[in-house]
Structure 1
Amino acid sequence: MPKSSASTLRSRGLWLLGPALVAGVAYLDPGNVASNMTAGAQYGYLLVWVVLAGNIMAWLIQYLSAKLGVVTGQSLPELLGARLRRPWARRAYWLQAELVAMATDLAEIIGGAVALNLLFGMPLLLGGVITGAVSMILLAVHSRRGPRHFEFVIIALMVIITVGFIAGVFIAPPDPAGVAGGLVPRFEDSGSVLLAASILGATIMPHAIYAHSSLARDRFGGDPRADAETRTLLTATRWDVTVAMVIAGSVNLGILLLAAANLAGVEGTDSLEGAHAALADGLGPVVATFFAVGLLASGLASTSVGAYAGAEIMHGLLRVRVPLLARRLVTLIPALVILGTGVDPTLALVLSQVVLSFGIPFALIPLVALTAQTRTLGAWANRTGTTIAGVAASVLLIALNGALLWLVLTGS
């Protein structure tokens, strides 16, 4: 970013928004859709409070990630790569982060393939290839036109996602009393605990944390600036994160409310295909088509951001810069293999969430620790209250992801 005065930055207004909206796409990926749709269909409005709580924690975590990139001019993976001095430690850290990013990408490619199958009857393997090819085009926009143009494309897809998933709520609105009752924190049985953990696991994702610090660095980091300019950028960042999380939270809540109001007790809604069929039967083909289009946009946008995150993880931890398109080709292979071998897409989505759960501590703990250090952020280090909130959110999320792993692996 060129050197600018604080007043010039303030005058540019909306220009400062964008990185959080791109990172926020991670909160609207097919894993979120599946978790929220299943929660609404099986438990009605019971878990509304989980979606809201997850969104509040996501705001704090994404802001800390963005602040790290703005103030230091480095991404979280770059800072970790500098702190981990032993090569074997950097490689081990990269390996777990890379596996998590690939697991996330798996869910996103599968979501896009399922959407193309629902819309056009396309075979899943071909749908996966097309989803991957379109994501390569989106990454080419980033490589050749820069981060700002990439942001415009992803934000446009976010608009499509929002319309696709929210349209049904206006056609068949939820019960206000039921929504109000869902604000009271409670569980019904072990199944509701599992779904709550799944919702939070699909909401707070490691690759979104890594990506947001990189996106903020790309837009705002790297140039010396006065304190007033940094303060202006952090204020804009808070607005950016707020807008992104309001959109993501509204869409996720809308998916749950749509299912709670119209699919409660309907069989087969624990899969994306089943949910689409139930929407078509209950609300008609138009709402079902909107849902499928939203799912397709979700897969395309989130897999592009996931591929970007994977490249940044490799660059920061291994100090190796592999072209985005080359990485995209390599990371596409596991998803295509799974689609080609006929593995149940819903099972693959669940397993990807399990793998993702392993990576949560490795992203959250360093993020809170680094943003609390004055030697890293100087005067912009977290206040005590912010650090306490970050620690509390991290402990809760790690515990819930641990519960998710236990419930899934033990079949409880």
Structure 2
Amino acid sequence: MVLETKVKPLRKSRGGLVLLLGPAFVAAIAYVDPGNVAANLTSGASYGYLLVWVLVAANLMAMLVQYQSAKLGVVTGRSLPEHLGRRFKTKSRRLYWVQAELVAMATDLAEVVGGAIALNLLFHVPLPVGGLIVGVCSMALLTVQNRHGQRYFESAIIFLLIIVTIGFLAGLVLSPPDPAGMVGGLVPRFQGSESIMLAAGMLGATVMPHAIYLHSQLAKDRHPDARSTPARLRQIVKATRADVVLALLLAGAVNIGMLLLAASTLGGIAGTDSIEGAHAAIVNSLGPVIGVVFAIGLLASGLASTSVGAYAGATIMHGLLKVRIPLQARRLVSLVPAIVLLSVGVDPTWALIVSQIVLSFGIPFALIPLLRLTSSKEIMGEHRDGLVLRLAALISVVLIVALNALLLWLTFTGQG
């Protein structure tokens, strides 16, 4: 069974907060995937500290929606895709699955391409071969989940997340950002349509639709005894909130750190609009050791995030279509588009940024149903979203839709 979990209910004596953490750290890996690297480095190199505010706002939105998703799974015992599958008629369910699957494919494209770039930087492996290697390694990670259960999978992903954090933040030690620039970057503003496109890409890379779908599944599988008593459910919901805050604070620090590194190191240097060019500039400015550490972080990001992406795709398919396929088989099928793009010579950094823009357009399709479900007293009982949380979620949805509408208008009118 694809989404089978082998997690045993926690004994009372082991019910401490630390032992209840984990699902959010798996979801958080989606927030530091190679698509983030491309969007954040390009933003920092091209516009300095201008778009720091986008990452701060996006990370706050991510905390909000990931908590809602996890809480939905814990309180109801069903994932977001399962709830939608029960409510949509057959045709609507299939159409919804198509858009969700396109989002999952865009995610997979970014992650495989990013891993392939990392292997090329480290070992000069051709990009198509690197993509295949990333695909094979991600299959091995998914095998851990299938054979040994979610706790072991969580441990493997958290280990990779630590490597990602070190890899992407190490350069800040040698090239600290300008405090005045950081403060100025917190003021919301744009500079032309290209900065808006980058902001949409950064938003798509930070608030990840597939992570919203997946987190509800991870949380319900991780805490199968959550609804055993009202007191136990309240404990799990509290632990879930802490899990999300800690995991997304870490992911947010990594994202903002990438932009700050690019702003402090790569500004005004030609060729830094690609990951390869940014890596070369980092090596020239900070030395080969930091360059290697950065590339290792990128590789860990690609390996972990592509595994999580395949898991999310299986969750979406099962919830909406009631179809289960082996994770490894899904991994193999979804690998094909990325390998094709790498083989025909498409610019990999451009592909990464475009994939993140696709993700940003998928966000409302995940957020609006999630907001409606978690606001329902009938579905959530005492754990429904409060007024402040509902308003914050509504504002997030409006901002995301408005940004995407503005991006479309600028793109098709040729303005900016």
Instruction: Sort the TM-score into its range (normalised by shorter chain).
Output: over 0.9
3-state secondary structure, aligned to 1:403: helix
Mapped contact 1:66–1:216 kept (Cα < 8 A):
yes
2:30 counterpart residue number: 26
* Aligned counterparts of 2:224 and 2:72: Cα–Cα separation in 1: 9
Superposition pairs of residues 100-115 of structure 1, within 5 angstroms = 100-115=103-118
2:288 counterpart residue number: 285
2:59 counterpart residue number: 55
Distance 1:374 1:221, change over 3 A: farther
2:354 counterpart residue number: 351
Mapped contact 2:204–2:361 kept (Cα < 8 A):
no
* Aligned counterparts of 2:93 and 2:41: Cα–Cα separation in 1: 38
Superposition pairs of residues 242-391 of structure 1, within 5 angstroms = 242-391=245-394
1:140 to 130, 138, 143: 143
Cα displacement string for residues 199-245 of structure 1 (whole angstroms, at most 9, x for unaligned residues): 11211111010011111011014664211111111111111101111
Deviation of 1:185 (Å): 2.2
RMSD of aligned Cα (Å): 1.6
Cα displacement string for residues 347-384 of structure 1 (whole angstroms, at most 9, x for unaligned residues): 22133223223311210100001000112111211112
3-state secondary structure, aligned to 2:271: coil
* Aligned counterparts of 1:4 and 1:61: Cα–Cα separation in 2: 26
Deviation of 1:307 (Å): 0.2
Mapped contact 2:201–2:354 kept (Cα < 8 A):
no
3-state secondary structure, aligned to 1:321: coil
Mapped contact 1:357–1:401 kept (Cα < 8 A):
yes
Mapped contact 1:197–1:403 kept (Cα < 8 A):
no
Deviation of 1:4 (Å): 6.1
Mapped contact 2:116–2:134 kept (Cα < 8 A):
yes
1:79 to 78, 83, 87: 83
3-state secondary structure, aligned to 2:16: helix
Q: Aligned pair 1:172/2:175, yes or no? A: yes
> 2:252 corresponds to which letter in structure 1?
G
> 2:315 corresponds to which letter in structure 1?
E
3-state secondary structure, aligned to 1:265: coil
State percent identity of aligned pairs. Answer: 60
Mapped contact 1:22–1:154 kept (Cα < 8 A):
yes
* Aligned counterparts of 2:18 and 2:329: Cα–Cα separation in 1: 33
Cα displacement string for residues 3-31 of structure 1 (whole angstroms, at most 9, x for unaligned residues): 668x646x432110000000001110111
Deviation of 1:92 (Å): 1.1
Deviation of 1:129 (Å): 0.2
Mapped contact 2:39–2:201 kept (Cα < 8 A):
yes
Cα displacement string for residues 83-140 of structure 1 (whole angstroms, at most 9, x for unaligned residues): 11x2111111111111110111001000000000011000001000000000000000
Structure 1 unmatched runs, 5+ = none
Cα displacement string for residues 163-216 of structure 1 (whole angstroms, at most 9, x for unaligned residues): 000000011111122212222222233332222222112111110100111110
> 1:38 corresponds to which letter in structure 2?
T
Q: What TM-score does the superposition give when structure 2 sets the normalisation length? A: 0.95
Q: Aligned pair 1:241/2:244, yes or no? A: yes
Cα displacement string for residues 268-313 of structure 1 (whole angstroms, at most 9, x for unaligned residues): 1111111111111111111111111111111111100000000000
* Aligned counterparts of 1:172 and 1:139: Cα–Cα separation in 2: 37
Q: Greater CA deviation, 183-192 or 356-365? A: 183-192
Superposition pairs of residues 123-134 of structure 1, within 5 angstroms = 123-134=126-137
2:3 counterpart residue number: none
1:42 to 46, 54, 57: 46
Mapped contact 1:69–1:221 kept (Cα < 8 A):
no
3-state secondary structure, aligned to 1:201: helix
Q: What TM-score does the superposition give when structure 1 sets the normalisation length? A: 0.96
